Amino acid sequence: MHSTDDRRFLANETDDPLHEAFDRKMTVHAMPRGESISPEELPGLWADVISAEDGLQIRTIYIHIPFCEGHCVFCGFYENAYRSNLAKQYVKALVREMELTAGAPFINARPFHAVYFGGGTPTALGAESLTRLVSTVKNLFPLSNDCEITLEGRSYNFTKEKIEAALSAGINRLSLGVQTFDTGIRKSLGRREPREKVIETLTYLRDLGKAAAIIDLIYGLPGQSLEVWEDDIKTFLSLKLDGCDLYQLNVFRGGPLEKSVAKGSLPRPATLKEQADYYVRGVELMEAAHYRRLSITHWARISRERNLYNLFSRGRSECVPLGSGAGGWLTNYFFFVEGDLKDYLSAIEAGRKPLSFGVRRPQRDFLFRDISYQIELGYCDLEELSKRYDLDLLTFLKPIISQWEKIDLIKLTDGCFYLTRPGEFWAVNLAQILIDRLQKEQ
């Protein structure tokens, strides 16, 4: 018997856990949880943090480029339309922000292990801007010799001149959002290039061989049958790139995709049960091609692809946020840089770090991060975490863990549980439920 309290943390009793373990898929919280820091306190806390030689061993830098050349229908991350003059002004401000930040004792205390240019669409920037940003971060911040420096973006308008500029400046990993190779579906979602053009750019990057080349693919898109999904993965495999993320489509409430489907201008996306089948097929194809799994969603062909930034950001690491809309944990605080472009630019002009909000690290945050991180890697070592945090997690979580094991979401061995294939599909739910259960006890 489970206590009433535990019941809401259990999965559905079913013989088909892949399709029926939960009624809905939970998503990773977009914003960090914790007590808010008042706007008056923020500048002082930031100054205290970066003037101390403190912090964790693993450190990263996140640099946000909040522009896109078009709004893709499925996306919840669109911020500002790309305009050449505005982007140039932004790059100038970003360099100034780097100068204001670098040189501080916190920054110089230890090397950084990963730098990530994310967005938006960083590849929308011009060649000169790319060179300037990458060179500035390399010149001003102490980077480890094996630092992963990623440029995120898309193949559209990522010209040979821009590619050359980014690679010469020091980018050693390119992560391009392809989503699907199907020309018709791409068009319907606002992706401008046909299959052939995307393949041409990816082949060019692969043949240059100067940086790891990674792509994202999404399953469950409107109009994407299981056959189209299989073709997407087989096309990726035939290109012999270095790695790939296989993501599930996330339909944002009130977003353009939901509206287009409601209007009938796009076919419905895959149901959750269909997505589960797409997930399994994706894993089968990647395993049959002997790709190595770096996380539930991420695959590598060879060890050149490490996926460091994404893995570090889920675990115990510091992240220096730079650019409008960037955010990151530094010591016990999360800092979010002003997302309104106008406000960001005028604060930089005035020589201020433009922070718009922050939170304090909540109690047990490191335990929760360890749980999420391990589950993202396909396991959760409750015995080891119990020792690390002086808690008896195996006993405390036993009603939940036993039920999950009974319906084949996990296998428990020596105090550590491993996700089964259905468990992998529901990985975010499993992590979130354990965190919610432990939080309830605080």
- 91: its two tokens: 């790059």
- Of 154, 162, 301, 369, the one binding ligand SF4 by CB under 6 A: 154
Rg of the chain on CA atoms, in Å:
22
| Residue-level length of the chain | 442
Q: How many CB atoms lie within 10 A of CB 352?
A: 14
Closer residue to ligand SF4, CB minimum distance, 117 or 426: 117
User: Taking CB under 6 A as the rule, does residue 78 contact ligand SF4?
Assistant: yes
Q: Please report, for the chain, how many H helices and E strands are present, in that order.
A: 20, 18
Name the nearest CA neighbour of 6 among 389, 404, 358, 355.
Answer: 404
Q: Which amino acid is at 12?
A: N
Task: Give the three-state DSSP class for 303.
Answer: coil
Contact between 187 and ligand SF4 (CB under 6 A)? no
Is 77 a binder of ligand SF4 (CB under 6 A)?
yes
- Whichever of 121 and 131 has its CB closer to ligand SF4, that residue is 121
Residues 203-222 that bind ligand SF4 (CB under 6 A): none
- Measured from the CB of residue 190, what is the shortest distance to ligand SF4 in angstroms? 7
Q: Cβ closer to ligand SF4: 76 or 170?
A: 76
The answer to whether 191 and 179 have CB atoms below 8 angstroms apart is yes
Q: How far is the CB of 178 from ligand SF4 (least distance, A)?
A: 10
From residue 103 to residue 132, the character string flagging contacts with ligand SF4 as x (rule: CB under 6 A) and all else as - is ----------------xxx-----------
The CA distance from 67 to 71, in Å, is 10
Q: Is 82 in the site for ligand SF4 (CB under 6 A)?
A: no
Binding residues for ligand SF4 restricted to 341-400, rule: CB under 6 A = none
Q: Which tokens belong to 317? A: 């690491």
Q: Which is nearer to ligand SF4, 74 or 141 (CB)?
A: 74
Which of 37, 61, 65, 75 contacts ligand SF4 by CB under 6 A? 75
H or E element in which residue 246 lies: strand 243-248
- The interface region with ligand SF4, picked from 68-76, 278-286, 382-390, 397-405 by CB under 6 A, is 68-76
Residue 419 in the binding site for ligand SF4 (CB under 6 A): no
What are the beta bridge partners of residue 218? 247
| 207 phi-psi bin (left φ>0, alpha ψ -120 to 50, beta other) | alpha
User: Under the rule (CB under 6 A), what is the footprint of ligand SF4?
Assistant: 68, 71-72, 75, 77-78, 119-121, 154, 177
